[in-house]
Structure 1
């Protein structure tokens, strides 16, 4: 046995009154559990039915492996009132009507994941943990607002909360419960056929004040910095995030413009960073309220 490595976990163990069985051929579980068995929070493990014939088996090895490898965080969720088909148009990310219908209305507020606006547009897989009503996959939501309620990490749209159900009736039951146990993880946003879009806000005033949002950001990285460049003289200025998903420049450069975005993996140690440069420009005579296609998109790994 390697130094520092704990003893292998037996094929069958009795844990917290639950019989845990490992099917043959799942030797990977030995390595996975032997290194981290003592640190696992078994009380947070979802109740899963076992496909094995043993009626006492509450956890099946293959299901356990999925759970261990999923990197989910346990929390609670509630939902917005009056949000059957969409989210709020007044979210802190300032997406407006776009944010209400983004991702088919599967959106959410979150105080902990809002991160002073850095979290705007991030996607999360959220699934409830009641085995009688909840589907294994749950829903993918987009953060469009900041908010918390009674210790929750998510205030989902009504459409998103019901979408976690196994079927329509189960979704209705979840809505009746109103407050449900969940687990969640960050996942890549996917917008097939769409490039990143720059939305010039109505608060902009040509040529003195240039304010915009970034729409349809794919992947699971954060935009941590933005440069506004005048492409004729190649002069750039670093912009400030004013609030939510909104970036702004006072006295912006004149001439055709390029908005360059710095993406970060967000890893605390050695996280990668990369600038993304649009292939399309914003015209010199830009207008408030207009949208401009960047011509580029984050490539999914």
Structure 2
């Protein structure tokens, strides 16, 4: 028994000193993993123009993410934390297109409580799709269908985009076109004459900082919800102006 006790103490010490395993990005987003149940409706017209603006602050969503976008019920929207995230979805039954095709949509808006006959009410998992997205998986005439979904990585073309808005002492940066996880956990900004400054989420994917950064080249550091970090140095030149958009590195 004494030998067993000594062995257990040794194993305990070994496990205490083992390094933490690295975070698994693919496992976190279930790429190729199982499906979860939800329901889907649609909003906006056939050109998806009615889906512009919205709770993520993207403005022209069609310009930012095309027509395959969705509003999420509150449990999925998570107060805006999932803005920019990607979901693979497919119709589950009743009204599905032949072959039950799947598509990948980007989260760009909130489907508020009481919408679509209560389908967006807590704790339901619901996707209120842009009409072109709904029509890619189900017959429009049904209007509402059971859905299967899973979180997947986002495939983006080009770099992460930083649109600088606000005024001298209020920098409001809209972050779009984020690959990988798609949604953003934190954003930092660095002027050529400052150190790194943690920005505060204002709403959706708009991030604010109260420093006068005019006349300085700007760098940005983005941390995604999966813990991955990408840094874009000197993205905006020292003569940048409010309203301009700059492209940085990508995940």
TM-score band w.r.t. shorter chain? 0.7 to 0.9
- Pick the structure with greater CA Rg: 1
Distance change in 2, residues 1:137/1:96 (3 Å): same
Residue number in structure 2 paired with 1:198: 162
Contact 2:44/2:51 (8 A) holds in 1: no
Contact 2:95/2:142 (8 A) holds in 1: no
Distance change in 2, residues 1:252/1:262 (3 Å): farther
Return the offset for 1:256: 1.4
> Is residue 232 of structure 2 the alignment partner of residue 259 of structure 1?
no
Residue number in structure 2 paired with 1:138: 102
CA distance in 1 between counterparts of 2:235 and 2:133 reads 36
Distance change in 2, residues 1:248/1:288 (3 Å): same
Once superposed, which parts of structure 1, at least 4 consecutive aligned residues long, lie more than 6 Å away?
none
Gap runs ≥5 in structure 2: 1-31, 121-125
SS in 1 for 2:75: helix
Distance change in 2, residues 1:122/1:197 (3 Å): same
CA distance in 1 between counterparts of 2:182 and 2:65 reads 18
Contact 1:280/1:293 (8 A) holds in 2: no
RMSD: 2.1
Q: 1:282 aligns with which of 227, 232, 236?
A: 236
Distance change in 2, residues 1:132/1:114 (3 Å): closer
Q: 1:225 aligns with which of 171, 175, 186?
A: 186
Residue number in structure 2 paired with 1:61: none
CA distance in 1 between counterparts of 2:145 and 2:35 reads 16
Contact 1:87/1:107 (8 A) holds in 2: no
Contact 1:190/1:219 (8 A) holds in 2: yes
> Is residue 58 of structure 2 the alignment partner of residue 105 of structure 1?
no
Distance change in 2, residues 1:234/1:275 (3 Å): farther
Residue number in structure 2 paired with 1:291: 245
Equivalent residues in 2 for 1:145-156, closer than 5 Å: 145-148=109-112, 149=115, 150-152=118-120, 153-156=126-129
CA distance in 1 between counterparts of 2:213 and 2:87 reads 37
Return the offset for 1:264: 3.2
Decide which structure has greater strand share: 2
Return the offset for 1:71: 1.8
CA distance in 2 between counterparts of 1:89 and 1:188 reads 23
Return the offset for 1:86: 4.4
SS in 2 for 1:253: coil
Residue number in structure 2 paired with 1:3: none
Distance change in 2, residues 1:252/1:263 (3 Å): farther
TM-score by length of 2: 0.75
Deviations 1:215-251 (A, max 9, x none): 11111264211111123x4512111000111001112
> Is residue 139 of structure 2 the alignment partner of residue 162 of structure 1?
no
